[in-house]
């Protein structure tokens, strides 16, 4: 059967104008109506994967502090753009700010654009704000985030086990007082990392002492200043810290060195992400390496699969990390 907008109008019972607006993702068409028309168009071969002309890379920001200018995200975005270009797709970067007054309207425009597939970087995304994206009319992959109760196509890093392994390594070296430098902005990744830290401590019967838990800004400068104030006030220190990310760890290390603490002889430090500066600082930072390029590449490849075959089963693809040991960790200082 030769299929066109007129025929789709007859089959669906909606006007040709409504059918055209739904197929082109224009506003003003009821969501259920648009989904019904799109399903019919796919069934009869009118909507083909070739209608996807580009990949819209949406960076969701709530506080914006975690996703500001962290090296982690610049590497991730670069890998996405390279993989998209290699497969013949242009990448359009969109910054979506939760605090903007027209946020709801921006989300509506994004979800009705059927000319682009979407990669949504959801590092700062809450479950409530994620729900509207389930109604997307285009292929969508959620990157660096997942929700137990929301069936997205997801690609993300592993967090909890990576941190548990790192903390076990500190314990194996003889550390018993192990502190936690946690980011002032709580993301799902940070929460999972906190779970890994506590799990490893619990497994070995070690207490999680409140006096060794410090909230830090998630930037190098912010952590340096905040940790410096604690040291100036004479805060008691454990023999080792795990930090939510490398930015916090590096800032804390600089503060320790300013106040004449030796790293790692007095205090050992472990970060997370393995940003480039972690390798060249002195001492080199022991950290959990995230395969950032592979995260971006995998997300693009999964999205391309969905462009070709939209009705695939929902998948959560998780990429494991690797502990990189450098000079910031040693056996605990002798009492």
Tokens representing 78?
């670069």
Neighbours of 223 (CB within 10 A): 28
Residue 1 has pLDDT above 70, yes or no: no
Q: How far apart are the C-alpha atoms of 300 and 51, rounded to whole Å?
A: 17
Q: Are 103 and 111 in contact (CB under 8 A)?
A: no
Q: What is the CATH number of the domain that holds 234?
A: 3.40.50.2300
Q: Are residues 30 and 55 in the same domain?
A: no
DSSP code string of 157-193: E--HHHHHHHHHHHHHTT---EEEEEESS--HHHHHH
Q: How far apart are the C-alpha atoms of 123 and 208, rounded to whole Å?
A: 26
Among 30-34, 49-53, 186-190, 259-263, the minimum mean pLDDT is found in 49-53
Q: How far apart are the C-alpha atoms of 22 and 269, rounded to whole Å?
A: 54
Please give the pLDDT value at position 114.
82
> If pLDDT is split at 50, 70 and 90, which confidence band does 48 have?
very low
Percent of the chain with pLDDT over 70: 94
Q: Between these two residues, 113 and 104, which has the higher pLDDT value?
A: 104
Q: Are residues 15 and 67 in the same domain?
A: no
pLDDT tens by residue, 200-220: 999 999 999 999 999 999 999
14, part of any domain? yes
pLDDT tens by residue, 86-112: 988 899 999 999 999 999 999 988 988
- Structural domain range at position 54: 49-157+292-317
328, part of any domain? no
Tokens representing 80?
């996405």
Q: Are residues 87 and 193 in the same domain?
A: no
Please give the pLDDT value at position 314.
94
Q: What domain count does the chain have?
A: 3
pTM assigned to the model: 0.82
Q: How far apart are the C-alpha atoms of 333 and 265, rounded to whole Å?
A: 6
330, part of any domain? no
Please give the pLDDT value at position 68.
67
177, part of any domain? yes
327, part of any domain? no
> If pLDDT is split at 50, 70 and 90, which confidence band does 335 have?
low
Q: Are residues 63 and 141 in the same domain?
A: yes
Q: Are residues 89 and 18 in the same domain?
A: no
pLDDT tens by residue, 136-167: 888 999 999 999 999 999 999 999 999 999 99
Q: How far apart are the C-alpha atoms of 102 and 282, rounded to whole Å?
A: 45
Q: Are residues 151 and 169 in the same domain?
A: no
Please give the pLDDT value at position 37.
83
* Phi, psi dihedral angles at 167 (to 5 degrees): -70, -40
- Angle (deg, nearest 10), helices 292-308 and 71-86: 40
Mean pLDDT (the chain, rounded): 91
């Amino acid at each position: 059967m030769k299929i066109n907008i007129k025929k789709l109008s007859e089959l669906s019972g909606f006007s040709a104008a409504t059918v055209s607006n739904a197929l082109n993702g224009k506003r003003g068409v009821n969501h259920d109506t648009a989904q019904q028309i799109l399903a019919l168009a796919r069934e009869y071969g009118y909507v083909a994967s070739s209608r996807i002309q580009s990949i819209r890379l949406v960076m969701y920001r709530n506080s914006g502090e975690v996703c500001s200018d962290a090296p982690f995200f610049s590497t991730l975005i670069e890998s996405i753009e390279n993989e998209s270009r290699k497969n013949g797709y242009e990448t359009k970067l969109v910054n979506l700010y939760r605090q903007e007054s027209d946020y709801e309207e921006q989300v509506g425009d994004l979800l009705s654009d059927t000319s682009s597939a979407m990669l949504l970087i959801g590092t700062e995304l809450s479950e409530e704000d994620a729900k509207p994206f389930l109604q997307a009319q285009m292929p969508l992959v959620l990157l660096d985030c997942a929700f137990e109760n929301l069936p997205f196509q997801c690609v993300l890093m592993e967090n909890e086990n990576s941190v548990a392994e790192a903390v076990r390594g500190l314990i194996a070296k003889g550390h018993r007082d192990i502190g936690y430098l946690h980011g002032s902005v709580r993301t799902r990744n940070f929460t999972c990392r906190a779970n890994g830290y506590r799990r490893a401590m619990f497994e070995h019967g070690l207490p999680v002492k409140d006096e060794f838990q410090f909230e830090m800004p998630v930037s190098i400068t912010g952590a340096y200043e905040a940790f410096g104030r604690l040291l100036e006030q004479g805060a008691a220190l454990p023999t080792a810290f795990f930090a939510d990310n490398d930015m916090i760890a590096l800032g804390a290390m600089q503060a320790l060195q300013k106040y004449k603490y030796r790293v790692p002889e007095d205090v050992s430090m472990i970060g997370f992400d393995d940003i480039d500066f972690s390798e060249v600082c002195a001492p080199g930072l022991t950290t959990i390496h995230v395969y950032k390029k592979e995260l971006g590449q995998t997300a693009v490849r999964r999205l391309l699969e969905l462009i070709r075959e939209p009705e695939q089963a929902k998948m959560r693809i998780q990429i494991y990390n690797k502990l990189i040991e450098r000079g910031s960790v040693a056996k605990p200082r002798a009492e």
